[in-house]
Chains A and B, each alone.
Chain A
Amino acid sequence: MSTACSTCHIVLAEDNPADVGLVRHALQEHQVECELHVIGDADEVISFINDLDSDCTIPRPDLLLLDLNLPKKDGREILKHLRASERCWQTPVVVLSSSDAPADHRDAQINAAIHYFRKPCSLEDFLQLGSIVRAVIDHPSADAVAMRDCTGEPQGI
C-alpha cells in the first residue's frame, strides 16, 4: 500500500515539537510515506491556504492534520478558512486535540473534519494515528466518510 502514498502531501498544523515527533513516529509506524509540511502557527497555515489558492503550482495537500489549539488563531478559524478555499474545500482533515470538550467535537463536525483524534497518553494509542491517516489517504472521499470519534483510547468517549 505504501506506493499509493509515495507522493502524497500532508500538512501538519502543530506547534508542539514533541507532538510533531509523535506524529512522525505514527506515520512511520504505519508506513505512510509522504511529504510532511509542518506549520506551527495559525496565521502561517492561513497564508499557506491562500498561497495554494493563488498558485496552482503548489501541490494540493492530501490531508490536513490540524491541532485545534494553535497559537494566534483558533483551529476552528483555520477549519472555516479551509472550507471556504477554492482548492482545499474538500481536503480531508483530522483534528488533533488534547480536549474532549463536546464543543470541540461539534466545531470539528460542523466543518466536516473526518476524524477527531484526541491525543492519548499512551504511545501505542498515539501511534494509531498512523493507521487513521493511512485509511484516509487510501479512501480519500472526504465527504462520504462520516466523522467518527477516535480518541485513541480503548474505551472511547
Chain B
Amino acid sequence: MSADPVKVQSPPPIAEPEARLNGQTIAAPDASGSNERREDLRDFIENAAVALHWVGEDGTILWANKAELQLLGYVREEYVGRNISDFHVDQEVISDILRRLKHGETLTGAEARMRCKDGTIRYVSINSSVYREEGRFIHTRCVTLDLTPQKQATEVRERLASIVESSADAIISKDLNGIIRSWNRGAERIFGYTPGEIIGRNISTLAVPERIDEFPDILARLARGERVDHNQTKRKTKDGRVLTVSITVSPLRDAEGTVIGGSEVARDITEREVHERALEQANAVLQQANADLQQFAYSASHDLQEPLRMVSTYSELLRKEFGSKLGPAADEYIGYAIQGAQRMQQLLTDLRAYTLASTSDPVPLGDIDAGAMLDKALANLEAVIKDSGASISRSDLPHVRLHEFQMEQLFQNLIGNAIRYRSNVPPQIHVAALQRDREWIFSVQDNGIGIDSQYKEQIFELFKRLHSVAAYPGTGMGLGICKRIVERAGGRIWVESEPGKGSTFFFTLPAPD
C-alpha cells in the first residue's frame, strides 16, 4: 500500500521472492500468485493470536501484527518505524539479540523485558531468525511470546518460598504418617538438622520421650482437618537440647480438598520462657521489697510512737512537777522538747495514714455515704473550725466506693488545709460533687491564700511544704495522703487556684455501678 520508507503500514508480504526489503524500506507486496490466497495469508498473519514483527538490520521495526501491538498497547504509528531497542528495558539484551541474529543464529526463547505504552513491563520470550536474500539481511522474523503471567506466578512463588525459607520460625511440612516433607532454614537453625538429614524421617524424631504421645494425637487431629494453635510444648534438637516451643499445626489439602498432611510452624520460646521467669522472679522480689518497705514504714511509725510517748509525757511531767522551779531557761528547753515531740507525733500519725492508704485494699466492697464522712471530718475539725470562724457549706454528696476512714481523711485533710491556709477573712469553704460519665468529681473550694501555679504539682508530693512550720503548721503529708488514697481508688486529684483568691481542690472517684 505504501512505499514510504519510514511509515511502513502495510501488512507483511507473503514471503515471496518479489517481496523486497532493503534496509529501512519495504516494498509493497508483489502482485504475483493468487490474490485470494495472498489475502488469506495476510489476514492470517495480521490477525494471528501470536505477536509477530519484523525488524531491519539496524533495529528499525518494519512491521508488527495486531497481537504484537495489543501485547504492548501501542498503535501502529507509535511502534512501527521506531527502533526496537526503544521498547526494550535492557539495552544489552536487545543488542545481544540483534548481534546474534546478524551472525546468523536462530534464537529460541530469548528472554527480554519490554516496556508497554502504559509503563508496565512485560516479560517476553523471543523466537527469531533473519530472512536473507543472497546473504543479505532483509528482516528478522520475530515471534514474541508473553511470559509475564508465568513470571509473576514464579515471582510470587519465589517470594513465598523465600519468606518460608528466611523465617526465624521453623516451618515444616509433613504427610499424614508424620513423614517430614519440607524443612526450612528456621527449622534447621532451631533443631539443628539439615534438610538432607531430616526430610523423609518421622516428625517424632523431634520428640522428647515424655511427650511422644503428642505426635499421633496431632496427626489424628490433622487428618480430621483440625488446627492446633499455639500449643506450648517441648522438642528435642539434634544435639539433644530440650527446647520450649510454641507450635501451630494446620492441615495441608490437595486440589480436591483432601487433607494430605500438615504444616507445622514452631517458634523457639525457650529464651522467652527464661526471660519471663526471670521477670516474674524480679517482680516477686520487687513486690516483696515493696511489701517489706510498707511494713517497715508502718512498724516504724508504730514502734517509734512508744519511745516518743515516753519523751512527750515525761517532758510534760517534768514541766508539771518542776516547772518554774528550775528557772526560765529550763522551762524554755522543756517547752522545745515538748514541741518537738508533738511535731514528731504528727509526722508519725501522717506516716501511718500514708502507709495505710498504700496498703489497704484499693476498692472495698460496699458503698459509703460521702456526706456522712464529711460530717465525721467536720466533727474532728470542730476546734479549728470554731477558732477560725470558718463556715462550711455543701451540695448533695453521693455514695462512693471507698473505705470510710479514707473518705473521712480526704475531707479532713482538704478542709483542714483550707482552714489552715486562710487569708485574713474567715474561711468560707464549699464542698460539692457532680457526676460526669462514670465518675464523681468532688470539689473543696476555699477563699484562702491560694497557691502559685508553679507549685500545683509539687504540693501533692510527700514532705513538700511551701511555708515554714512556724507560719503554717503541718507535716507536708496531708495532700500526699489524699493523692495516695484517690489514686489507689482509681481517681485523680488536682488543684485550681489563684493566689490571693483561694483554691479549689478537685478529686475524682469512680461512681459505683
Contacts and interface: CB of A to CB of B under 8 A. Distances in A.
Interface of A: 18, 22, 25, 98-99, 119-124, 126, 155
A121 to B, nearest CB: 5
Nearest to A69: B306
Interface string B372-405: 0000000010000000000000000000000000
Contacts of B309: 98, 119-121
B305 A123 contact: no
Given A98-B309, A123-B320, 12 more contacts: A18-B313, A22-B317, A98-B302, A119-B309, A121-B308, A121-B345, A122-B312, A123-B312, A123-B313, A123-B317, A124-B316, A155-B380
Contacts of B317: 22, 25, 123
Contacts, number: 32
A23 to B, nearest CB: 11
Interface string B294-334: 00000000100110111011101100100000000000000
> Which of B306, B320, B341 lies at the interface centre, i.e. has the most chain A CB atoms within 10 A of its CB?
B306
B380 A121 contact: no
Nearest to A18: B310
The 8 closest A-B pairs by CB, nearest first: A123-B316, A123-B313, A121-B312, A121-B309, A18-B310, A121-B345, A155-B380, A98-B306
A155 B341 CA distance: 19
Contact of B341 (A98, A99, A121): A121
Contacts of A98: 302, 305-306, 309
B355 to A, nearest CB: 14
29 contacts: A18-B310, A18-B313, A18-B314, A22-B313, A22-B317, A25-B317, A98-B302, A98-B305, A98-B306, A98-B309, A99-B302, A120-B309, A121-B305, A121-B308, A121-B309, A121-B312, A121-B313, A121-B341, A121-B342, A121-B345, A122-B312, A122-B316, A123-B313, A123-B316, A123-B317, A123-B320, A124-B316, A126-B313, A155-B380
Contacts of A124: 316
A25 B305 CA distance: 21
A25 to B, nearest CB: 7
Interface string B442-472: 0000000000000000000000000000000
Contacts of B312: 121-123
Contacts of A155: 380
A25 B345 CA distance: 22
A22 B310 CA distance: 9
A98 B304 CA distance: 11
Given A98-B305, A98-B306, A99-B302, A122 B380 contact: no
Contacts of B306: 98
Nearest to B308: A121
A67 B305 CA distance: 16
B306 to A, nearest CB: 5
B285 to A, nearest CB: 28
> Which of A98, A121, A123 lies at the interface centre, i.e. has the most chain B CB atoms within 10 A of its CB?
A121
Nearest to B352: A100
A155 B377 CA distance: 10
A18 B310 CA distance: 7
Contacts of B302: 98-99
A18 B312 CA distance: 12
B373 to A, nearest CB: 15
Contacts of A123: 312-313, 316-317, 320
Nearest to A99: B302
A20 B310 CA distance: 11
B350 to A, nearest CB: 14
Contacts of B305: 98, 121
A98 B301 CA distance: 12
Interface in B168-191: none
Contacts of A119: 309
Nearest to A126: B313
A149 to B, nearest CB: 15
Interface string B223-265: 0000000000000000000000000000000000000000000
A71 B341 CA distance: 27
Nearest to B321: A25
Contacts of A99: 302
A140 B312 CA distance: 32
B320 to A, nearest CB: 7
Nearest to B380: A155
Nearest to B318: A123
